[in-house]
Amino acid sequence: MTSKFYSIALIFLLIQPFFALGGANEPGKGFNWDPAVLEEALKAQPIRWQNDPNVNTEYTGYWVLYSGKALNYLALVAFYDTGNAYPRAAAKVVEQLKYVISGGKEPCCRGVIAGWADNALAQTLALAKHTEVVWSQFSNAEKEKLDLLMEALAIAGNYCQNSSNNVHRGLYQAFSWRKGWNPNHQEGYVGVMVAAHIYFGGTDQVNEVFKNFSYDDYMNRFQEAGFTTVSDCWSATGKVLMEEGGTDAGGGTTKGVRMPFRYASLSGFGELEYEPYLLYRDLAVKMFKHHVTSGECDGKAFIADGTTSPWQGQPGMCYEFRTFDASGCRSSASYGFEGWMNHILTLSTLQAFELLPGDDNMEYNELVKRTKTGTSDLFYKLERGYQAHKNGKSTIDKKENLNRLGIVFLEDLYNVIKDKL
């Protein structure tokens, strides 16, 4: 990120409130979903998470990374469908959410990298609660279960992403993790915190959930709801760590979950208040950090067909094209996508609720330019194949290899919203 961009950002913050919202889009108008993608989303299998301390098993066991993106796609279709042109989309969202809360199908709500899958559900819940044709189909008991599920997701987000906590394990006390790692480690559960803010109605309402947290109360509520997956997960951490804090299984430290949520910027903005746009801005600055190149790692990483990116030299290339891992230099289109996928889910929700600044916001306009450049460059490289270098080895990253992550839904979603950002 250039110093010029940071200067613009700081000037803007001094002269105009960040929360000056613009009418960037008109709900229900001009959203043209691809019929083939819509049909594919409607055919997605029931969404569920596997109960397993191994986070990779949890979000791959039932293809939840694919079905979760399908569900979020349908939730957006239903949200914008003011003319009831897509009644099957709303009906499918209701069906899928009823299945998720039926007992033992819900996510562990562990935080950390599990946000890969959990954020899609959180964004869906925020959209569903504000889509009358969807929300009216749930009984009061079912709405209480949905509230409980969103509370659990938010609590996991506070545990892992709060600026005062430096945990090295999620709530299942498995999987080594650091919150300052690459974007795919932040985008999921910081996105969850954005969704919770919308779902519960604001900063104070979410922080009240944290303030009143009682481990025993939640374990009883999980039992009554049949949420065996999340109760198994949280029991691995236990009452003391969640309520009072301490040291986790990986040597990380926590002050628990009873404090208000604040986020330590990874993009140079200091400690952030709990406001959706501030969180999004921080994610976007890191996600689209670099100027576009067509090769990295001293020639070990490059576009497979030998071409040059049409956006060469422009600001906005995804962070993961120029980073490092334990083996040294890393450049990967697939890792780039794994951060981008949740970024776009969160961005689309913010747009839906008109929580993005207007066109007169210089800072936001710069972020939009970077988002469009970085996304176009990412897909250019995925479509042609990208000779990646990661963990000391070379592999080819291709678009078709990301089908299990729901790329078909995310690509259409982005194409629908990009001109309205």
Instruction: Measure the N-to-C terminal CA separation of the chain; round to a whole number of Å.
Output: 21
- pLDDT for the residue 230: 98
pLDDT in tens, 26-47: 444 568 999 999 999 999 999 9
Contact between residue 156 and residue 113 where contact means Cβ atoms under 8 Å apart:
no
- pLDDT for the residue 10: 39
- pLDDT for the residue 31: 83
Q: Percent of the chain beyond pLDDT 90?
A: 91
Contact between residue 148 and residue 221 where contact means Cβ atoms under 8 Å apart:
yes
pLDDT in tens, 97-109: 999 999 999 999 9
Contact between residue 341 and residue 406 where contact means Cβ atoms under 8 Å apart:
yes
Phi/psi-derived region of residue 184, left when phi > 0, alpha when psi is between -120 and 50, beta in every other case:
alpha
pLDDT in tens, 162-200: 999 999 999 999 999 999 999 999 999 999 999 999 999
Can you give the length of the chain in residues? 421
What is this structure's pTM? 0.93
pLDDT in tens, 247-265: 999 999 999 999 999 999 9
Is residue 32 exposed (0-12), middle (13-18) or buried (19+ Cβ within 10 Å)? Answer: exposed
pLDDT in tens, 265-294: 999 999 999 999 999 999 999 999 999 999
Helix axes 64-80, 87-100, angle to 10 degrees: 140
- pLDDT for the residue 18: 35
For range 410-415, the mean pLDDT: 98
Residue 394 sits at the vertex; the CA angle it makes with 393 and 396, to the nearest 5 degrees, is: 140
Q: Is 90 exceeded by the pLDDT of residue 51?
A: yes
pLDDT in tens, 201-232: 999 999 999 999 999 999 999 999 999 999 99
Question: What is the distance between the alpha carbons of residues 132 and 111, in angstroms, rounded to a whole number?
Answer: 29
Q: Is 50 exceeded by the pLDDT of residue 17?
A: no
Helix (H, G, I), strand (E, B) or coil at 388: strand
- pLDDT for the residue 29: 52
Tell me the pLDDT band of 61, cut-offs 50, 70 and 90: confident
Is residue 73 exposed (0-12), middle (13-18) or buried (19+ Cβ within 10 Å)? Answer: buried
For range 298-303, the mean pLDDT: 97
Joined together, the tokens standing for residue 365 give: 């306009």
Q: Percent of the chain beyond pLDDT 70?
A: 93
Tell me the pLDDT band of 359, cut-offs 50, 70 and 90: confident
- pLDDT for the residue 22: 31
Which residues are CB-neighbours of 135 under 8 A, at least 6 positions away?
128, 129, 143
Helix (H, G, I), strand (E, B) or coil at 260: coil
